[in-house]
Structure 1
Amino acid sequence: MTGNLAHLTLAFGLLGNVVSFMVFLAPIPTFYKVYKKGSTEGFQSAPYVVGLFSAMLWIYYALLKSNVMLLITINSVGCIIETLYICFFLFYAPKKARMESLKLIVLLIVVGFGLIVVLTQFFAHGVNRGVIVGWICLVFSLCVFVAPLGVLRQVIKTKSVEYMPILLSVALTLSAVMWFFYGLLLGDFNIAIPNVLGFTFGILQMILYFVYKNKKPVTDEKISNFEAKISEMEEQKLPEYKNQKITDVVKLETLIHSDILPVAAKLNKNGCDQAGHVAVEPKAASYVPNHTIEVAA
């Protein structure tokens, strides 16, 4: 029975390593866009700095334990990948974004992680050291898993799943399931408890994705309604414009006839007036009235 439990624990740990490795590779398309664009404008370094801090924290916790080697393997790989992401980001980032990223790195990695290591090494002893670091990992992981609440709120508000990739949500959910059972079988609730929250939020993300994936975004609906109102207003004005145009044409024809008919009435069959003068129509613009021109005999 104990052997079967150990094999099951190993299986979940290995599966957790594989799925977590896929999650670590998920930002590669983002950095390809950065490379093609030549700038990190519109992107932030915070997720990668937080990911590096989390990986370092779990490695430190695993080093204080005796039976969680699989935590060390995946988080060591995570440290390397996140460091490469951060270096890539700093290379392409504008000066302002680069300075903000460096401040976050110093604050979280150097100061934050450094204080945790120093304080637990000097002020905690034996088993208590692992318990304290375990609680820190637990609280930090809960904060990380709560972060998707902002994404869920945005999806519900906009009715759009544009910024919630389904493959990443599935991978995070599977990762949470694997690490939950790994922690449960080891009897390590610092590993198991945060992943309950991760699994719950992962399921919520997938449900929202299938609810809103075929729905029209709110912004598109507003634009469509606005365009429909404009079209309706133009259609209402069009008959008035047509009527006005017809009225103007009638007035113009009336004006032309009023100028031509009196002159035409005075002409005889040969095109001459009573005085024997020939009426000649000059080539002029349509709005210029006709004139009678005398021609010497």
Structure 2
Amino acid sequence: MHEDTLKNFLGFTASISTILQFLTGALVCQKVVTNKSTGDQSALPFVCGCLSTSLWLRYGFFIKDTSIILVNSIGAALFFGYVITFALYSIRKFFQGVVCRQVSGCALTLTFILIYIQNVASPPIAQRHLGLICTLMTILFFGAPLVSLMHVLKVRSTESLPFPIILSSFLVSAQWMVYGVLLGDPYVQIPNFLGCVLTGFQLCLFYCFAQGSKGYSSELI
């Protein structure tokens, strides 16, 4: 009974933390709106977040889990808003083209996956395949900020990395990883363990290049 109580507690707190994590994107968008430019920041973390939450939302409907449906409904709506914000403030044509290609790729990928899942004959197979796809999308979401890694290493500054999202991703993935261990569910354990590793590495970059990123970090905290 004690273990069940702990599972329920972790499930509840992880859900709340996940919603709060989604809301940290508003800090990044606030900086974009204030500066009236996206600067060197990439929209890919938000595009990946939109795709990931949309797929988990479909998975939630598939298994009829209210918590997954609620969390990812909120997440999908927020990330869609963040992507729109980046598109509106991408004043440079080249970057705007990149955002459009990323959004188009996200929409095509989501459509293809949903059509595929809908036409799989066996529900258990469809559930397993969708679970694996959601796992891959979650890992992609955690690693998306690394798209700016070469730029970060070159300029020795983490200005292009969204610190609030990375920090909250680390905390949330740690919670879900522990929850997955208690459940004995590898689909929950593995992506969140990798999420801890990826986001932990990104946080180390903020420590390594603290001097070059000092001004940016203080603006976001």
Give the TM-score, by structure 1 length: 0.60
Residues 189 and 31 of structure 1, relative CA distance in 2, 3 Å threshold = same
Kept in 1: contact 2:87–2:96 (CA 8 A): yes
Structure showing the higher helix proportion among its residues:
2
Kept in 1: contact 2:40–2:160 (CA 8 A): no
Greater relative contact order (Cα < 8 A, sep 6+): 2
Q: What residue in structure 2 maps to residue 73 of structure 1? A: 70
Give the drift of 1:53: 0.6
Residues 144 and 167 of structure 1, relative CA distance in 2, 3 Å threshold = closer
The 5 Å alignment of 1:85-124 reads: 85-94=82-91, 96=93, 97-98=95-96, 100-109=98-107, 111-124=108-121
Q: What residue in structure 1 maps to residue 5 of structure 2? A: 7
Give the drift of 1:56: 0.4
Give the drift of 1:212: 4.5
Show CA shifts across 1:26-51 (max 9, x none): 23233223323434454443322221
From 175, 185, 189, give the equivalent of 1:188.
185
C-alpha separation in 1, matches of 2:110 and 2:52: 10
Question: Structure 2: which amino acid aligns with 1:46?
Answer: L
C-alpha separation in 2, matches of 1:179 and 1:99: 35
Kept in 2: contact 1:40–1:92 (CA 8 A): yes
Residues 147 and 46 of structure 1, relative CA distance in 2, 3 Å threshold = closer
- 1:123 aligns to what SS in structure 2? coil
- 2:119 aligns to what SS in structure 1? helix
Question: Structure 1: which amino acid aligns with 2:140?
Answer: C
Residues 60 and 186 of structure 1, relative CA distance in 2, 3 Å threshold = farther
Q: What residue in structure 2 maps to residue 136 of structure 1? A: 133
The 5 Å alignment of 1:206-221 reads: 206-213=203-210
Q: What residue in structure 1 maps to residue 219 of structure 2? A: none
Which ranges of 4 or more aligned residues in structure 1 deviate by more than 6 Å? none
C-alpha separation in 1, matches of 2:119 and 2:176: 30
What 5-or-longer segments of structure 2 have no aligned partner? 215-221
Give the drift of 1:136: 1.0
From 83, 86, 94, give the equivalent of 2:80.
83
State whether structure 2 residue 33 is matched by structure 1 residue 45.
Answer: no
Aligned length: 213
The 5 Å alignment of 1:141-220 reads: 141-149=138-146, 159-164=156-161, 167-213=164-210
Give the drift of 1:14: 2.0
Instruction: Report sequence identity in percent.
Output: 26
Give the TM-score, by structure 2 length: 0.78
